[in-house]
Chains A and B, each alone.
Chain A
Amino acid sequence: MTLLPLSALREGQGGRVVAINGGRGCTVRLMSMGIVPGKKVQIAGRRGGAVLVSLDGTKFVIGRGLAMKVIVDAGKEG
C-alpha cells in the first residue's frame, strides 16, 4: 500500500481513493462528482497545473490545490 496525494501521481498511473483530506466544503464537492473513497481513478494527463483524472469513464479536470487533498492508494508500483 502506497498512500499518495492524487496530485503526485504520474500520467497513466492509477490508484484507489482512500480519503479526502479537507474540509466539509471540498469533501462534499468532490463526493457529489463521484470522487468517493473506494473508487478507482487514473491520471489521464497533467500539464503543469491541473490534473486530468479519469473515473468510471468520465474525465475531470482537478486543480492542483484540490488534487492534493485526495489521498489515493497507488498500490505496489507507486
Chain B
Amino acid sequence: MVGNPNVGKTSLLNALTGGNFSVGNFPGVTVEKKEGVATINGKKFIFVDLPGIYSFETESLDEKVTRDYLIKEKPDMVLNIVNALNLERNLYLTLQLTEFEIPMIVVLNMIDEAEKEGISIDAKKLSKILGTPVVKTSAVREQGIDELKREILKGGRIPKSFSGSLEEIVRMAENIAKEVVKVEKVDRVIEEVLDEVFMDTHLGIPIFLSIMWMMFVFTYSVAEPFTELLGSLFDFLATYIASFDGWLFSMLGDGVVAGVGSVLSFIPNIAFLFLFLSLLELSGYMPRAVFLVDGFMSRFGLNGRSVISLIMGFGCNVPAILATRSIEDGKVRIATTLVNPFMSCSARLPIYVLFAGMFFPENGSVVIMSLYLIGVVIALISALILRKTLLEGESEFIMELPPYMLPNPKELWLMTWVRTKHFIEKAGTVILGMSIVVWYITNYPGGSIETSYAAMLGKALQPVFSPMGWSWELVLALITGFAAKEVVVATISVLNVDVASVMTPHQAFAYMLFTLLYMPCVATIAAIRAEIGTRWAVFAVSFSFLVAYVISLIATGVGLWF
C-alpha cells in the first residue's frame, strides 16, 4: 500500500483485514511498518502499509524505505491509495509508481467526502489512461471494499509507463486531472469551523494550553488508582518472597520484584500519557499546533515542526529524538535534538510522583506541572543560545494539514500499546539488570547497607553534592539512574531509604530538578549519538550535567530563605 500521507491508508488496511494488523518497524530503521493479513476467497494476502510519501524525488528516509521495499521485496501488487479530494497532486506519486512495473490497483479513497464536496471522478476514464483498475472506496465507511477485494483477486495490472522529470510529471498529472475530475464548489463547513477555532489568534493558544493541561491531569490523576493498586500488589509480592530464607529469595524479593515492581507500577501513568499523545497525533490536531506555535518557537530559533518532537519528549526522549527526522532544516534539527532531554520524559514521572506525593501531598499536580514547565523553559533558552552561537541560520519547513479524524480505536490502541510495550521491555531488561546490580552492591560484602560497596560509592561521590545536602543514598540513586531514569525510584526502594526523614521539601524539589535536567539516560545518549554524532552526544551530556548542577544549587539556596 503506497500513497501520500493522510489519505486513509491505515483505515483501508483496517477495513481490508478486519482489524487483523500489527505495528512494527522496518528493519534497521525507526520508520513504522503496519502489516496485516486477510483471507479473500480462501486465498491469503499480506498487506504492508508503506510510509506516506509525496514523491520519490526528495530522498527522505520514508521515500528510501518505500523505494527499497518495492525493488527488493518485489511485492505481487501495489495498492496505490489516492485521496479523491485532491486527485491531481496525488497523481504525481501514482505516475512515478508506474516506473516500477509492478501490477497496480489505484484506490480512490475518501470518495464519499469528495462527492460531498461536489467532486466527481470518472474512474473508467482514469483506468483507461493509467492502464490499471481504479476502485472507489471510503475506508472509514467500509464502502467499495468488496469491489476492491474482487480486483485484488484478479491481481491488478502493470500500468502504462509515465516516466519523466518531476516538472513533466506535474504537467501530466494536471492534464489527467482536467480530463477525469469535475468540481462543483461546495465548502467544507466543519473543517473550516474547526480550523477557525483551533488556529484563532486569541483562542488558539489557550486551547493548546488547555489540551496540554488535560494531558497532565489525565496521566497523573486519572491513572492514580491503577498505579496505587499495582504498587501495593508488588509491595506485597516483594515482602512475601523476601520473607523466605536464603540469598536467592532476598535477591528475588528485595532486588528484582521490589526494583522492577516499583517501576512497573507506573505503567498506568505512562500508558495514559501515550494514549493521549497518540490521540493528538491521529486526530490531526498536531499540525494545527505546529502552525499555532511556529511564531513563538521561531523566537527561540526553532520552528513549528520542533514542537512535535518536543511534545513527544514528554513520553520518551528516544522516539522524540528520532522524530526530529521530520525537521528538514539541519541546524534546527540538531538544536531540537540537543534540548530534547530537558523535556521531562515519562521515566522521570515516577520520581516526581514519589517525591511530590511525599513532600507536597496537597498540591502534587502543581509541583509536577512546574517541573515540566521549568524543563520547557530551560529547553527553549538553551535552544536560543545554541541557535545564536554554534548553530546559526534561517529555517525552512512545509507540512500539509491533514483532515480531522475520529481516530480508529484499533489504531489508537496499537500505537499506545507498542509504545507502552517498549517501556515495559526496557523495565524488563535494563531495569532488571540494574535492580540486581543495585541489590548486590547494597548487600555485599558486609551484609548491611552501611558497609556495602554501594555505601562506599555513594559516600565517595557525596561531597560533590554536599552543597545541596543530599545523603549518599540519594547520590547513589542518581548514579544508577544514568542507566535509565526509572532506576532512581527502584534504587531508593531497594535501599529502603525513608526519604522523608533525610531531606526537607525544598531539598526534595532541588533533587527533582536535578533528575529532570542531569545527563540523559543511556538510551537517549545512544539516540543522540546515532542521529547527530558522537561530538554532539558528548556535548549534550556535559552541557546538561552543568545546567542541572547550577539550577539545583540555585533552588537549594533559594529554598533556604523560606
A, B: real partners:
yes
- A interface residues (Cβ-Cβ under 8 A, vs B): 25-26, 28-36, 44-45, 47-50, 52, 56-66, 69
Question: CA of A40 to CA of B298 in the docked complex: distance in angstroms?
Answer: 27
With most chain B CB atoms within 10 A of its CB, the pick from A44, A49, A61 is: A61
Question: CA of A64 to CA of B399 in the docked complex: distance in angstroms?
Answer: 13
Q: Are A33 and B398 in contact (CB under 8 A)?
A: yes
Taking the complex as formed, is B457 at the interface, i.e. its CB lies under 8 A from any CB of chain A? Answer: no
Question: CA of A66 to CA of B329 in the docked complex: distance in angstroms?
Answer: 11
Contacts of B290 in A (CB 8 A): 50, 61
Which one of A36, A44, A47 contacts B292 once the chains associate, using CB atoms below 8 Å? A47
Question: CA of A5 to CA of B419 in the docked complex: distance in angstroms?
Answer: 42
Question: CA of A52 to CA of B401 in the docked complex: distance in angstroms?
Answer: 9
Which one of A25, A45, A58 contacts B199 once the chains associate, using CB atoms below 8 Å? A45
Once A and B bind, how many residue pairs between them come within 8 Å at the CB atom? Answer: 114
- Please, how many residues of chain B have a CB less than 8 angstroms from a CB on the other chain? 41
Closest to A47 in B: B295
Question: CA of A57 to CA of B184 in the docked complex: distance in angstroms?
Answer: 13
A18 to B: closest C-beta gap in Å:
15
B67-94, CB < 8 A from A:
85-86, 88-89, 92
Q: Are B89 and A62 in contact (CB under 8 A)?
A: no
A8 to B: closest C-beta gap in Å:
16
Contacts of A65 in B (CB 8 A): 329, 394-397
Contacts of B170 in A (CB 8 A): 31, 36
Question: CA of A57 to CA of B113 in the docked complex: distance in angstroms?
Answer: 12
Contacts of A56 in B (CB 8 A): 86, 88-89
Q: Are A32 and B295 in contact (CB under 8 A)?
A: no
A21 to B: closest C-beta gap in Å:
13
Contacts of B199 in A (CB 8 A): 45, 47, 52
Question: CA of A29 to CA of B329 in the docked complex: distance in angstroms?
Answer: 13
Contacts of B398 in A (CB 8 A): 29-30, 33, 35, 60-63, 66
Taking the complex as formed, is B224 at the interface, i.e. its CB lies under 8 A from any CB of chain A? Answer: no
Closest to B296 in A: A48
Taking the complex as formed, is B55 at the interface, i.e. its CB lies under 8 A from any CB of chain A? Answer: yes
Q: Are B188 and A57 in contact (CB under 8 A)?
A: yes
Taking the complex as formed, is B294 at the interface, i.e. its CB lies under 8 A from any CB of chain A? Answer: yes
Q: Are A61 and B401 in contact (CB under 8 A)?
A: yes
Contacts of B304 in A (CB 8 A): 49-50, 61, 63
Given A60-B401, A63-B294, A65-B396, the answer on whether A29 and B89 have CB atoms closer than 8 Å is no
Contacts of A47 in B (CB 8 A): 199, 201, 204, 291-292, 294-295
Per-residue contact bits, chain B 262-301, to A (CB 8 Å; 1 contact, 0 not): 0000000000000000000000000100111011111100
Which one of B54, B204, B291 contacts A33 once the chains associate, using CB atoms below 8 Å? B54
Q: Are A32 and B397 in contact (CB under 8 A)?
A: no
